[in-house]
Structure 1
Amino acid sequence: MQLPDAPWLHDLSLRRVIDALRTDGQSPRIVGGAVRDALLGIEVADVDIATPLVPKEVIRRLEAAHVKAVPTGIDHGTITAVADGHTFEVTTLRRDVSTDGRRAAVEFATDWIEDAARRDFTINALYADPDSREIFDYFDGLTDLKAHHVRFIGNADQRIAEDHLRILRLFRFHARFGQGAIDADAVRAASTHANKLMALSRERIADELRKLLSVANPAPAVQAMIDNGIFATFLPEIISDAGSKLAKLIEREQLSASKASVSRRLSAILPVDAAIVEKVAARLKLSNRLRTDLMHLATNAKSDQSARQLAYAIGPENARDLVLLNSEEQNWREELASLQDWEVPELPVKGGDLIAKGLRAGPVVAKTLQAIERQWVAETFPAEPRVREIADQLVAGALRDDKKA
Structure 2
Amino acid sequence: MTELAGQPWLSDAATVAVLDALEAAGGPGCVRFVGGCVRNALMGQPVDDIDLSTTLKPDAVVAALKTAGLKSVPTGLAHGTVTAIARRQPFEITTLRQDVSTDGRNATVAFTDDWDQDAARRDFRLNALYADRSGRIFDPTGQGQADAAAGRIVFVGDPATRIQEDYLRILRFFRFHAWYGRGEPDADGLAACAALHEGMARLSAERVSKELLKLLAAPDPRDAVRAMSKTGVLGQILPEPVSLDRFEAMVVVSDEVALRLSALLPDTSEAVMKAAVALRLSNALRNRLIDAVSGTLAPSASAADIRAMLYRAGRQPVLDRLARTAADHPEACPGDISAIARDWPIPRLPIGGREVARAGVAAGPDTGRILKAFEDSWIADDFPADGHEDRLRALIAAG
TM-score class normalised by the smaller sequence:
over 0.9
Deviation of 1:382 after TM superposition, in Å, equals 2.4
* Structure 1 residue matching 2:33: 3-state secondary structure: strand
Residue of structure 2 equivalent to 1:80: 83
Q: Partners in 1 of 2:119 and 2:381 — Cα distance? A: 65
Instruction: Give the stretch that moved more between structures: 10-19 or 59-68.
Output: 10-19
* Structure 2 residue matching 1:53: 3-state secondary structure: coil
Contact 1:308 1:339 in 2 (8 A): yes
The CA deviation string for residues 147-181 of structure 1, in whole angstroms up to 9 with x for no partner, is: 11111111000000110000011111101111111
Describe how 1:85-234 pairs up with structure 2 within 5 A.
Answer: 85-130=88-133, 132-139=134-141, 140-234=143-237
Please point out which of 261, 269, 285 is paired with 2:264.
269
Give the alignment's TM-score, normalised by structure 2: 0.93
Match for 1:360: what amino acid?
A
Deviation of 1:309 after TM superposition, in Å, equals 2.6
**CA gap 1:380/1:79 in 2 versus in 1, 3 angstroms:** same
Identity %: 41
Q: Partners in 2 of 1:157 and 1:27 — Cα distance? A: 32
**CA gap 1:41/1:309 in 2 versus in 1, 3 angstroms:** farther
Please point out which of 254, 258, 274 is paired with 1:279.
274
Deviation of 1:264 after TM superposition, in Å, equals 1.4
Residue of structure 1 equivalent to 2:31: 28
Deviation of 1:302 after TM superposition, in Å, equals 5.4
* Structure 1 residue matching 2:138: 3-state secondary structure: strand
The CA deviation string for residues 28-82 of structure 1, in whole angstroms up to 9 with x for no partner, is: 1111111111122222111001100000100000000011111110000000111
Deviation of 1:263 after TM superposition, in Å, equals 2.2
Residue of structure 2 equivalent to 1:329: 330
**CA gap 1:310/1:9 in 2 versus in 1, 3 angstroms:** farther
The alignment's C-alpha RMSD in Å is: 1.6
* Structure 1 residue matching 2:343: 3-state secondary structure: coil
The CA deviation string for residues 104-154 of structure 1, in whole angstroms up to 9 with x for no partner, is: 010001111111111101111111112x21011122111111111111111
Match for 1:362: what amino acid?
G
Contact 2:99 2:121 in 1 (8 A): yes
Describe how 1:215-364 pairs up with structure 2 within 5 A.
Answer: 215-239=218-242, 241-242=243-244, 244-253=245-254, 260-301=255-296, 306-327=305-326, 328-334=329-335, 335-364=337-366
Contact 2:315 2:342 in 1 (8 A): no
Deviation of 1:386 after TM superposition, in Å, equals 4.2
* Structure 1 residue matching 2:60: 3-state secondary structure: helix
* Structure 1 residue matching 2:192: 3-state secondary structure: helix
Task: Specify every segment of 5 or more residues in structure 2 that has no aligned partner in the other structure, as ranges.
Answer: none
Match for 1:212: what amino acid?
L
Deviation of 1:387 after TM superposition, in Å, equals 4.0
Match for 2:317: what amino acid?
N
Q: Partners in 2 of 1:141 and 1:380 — Cα distance? A: 61
**CA gap 1:221/1:380 in 2 versus in 1, 3 angstroms:** farther
Match for 2:294: what amino acid?
T
Q: Partners in 1 of 2:93 and 2:334 — Cα distance? A: 48
Contact 1:272 1:301 in 2 (8 A): no
Give the alignment's TM-score, normalised by structure 1: 0.92
Deviation of 1:380 after TM superposition, in Å, equals 2.9
Contact 2:14 2:86 in 1 (8 A): yes
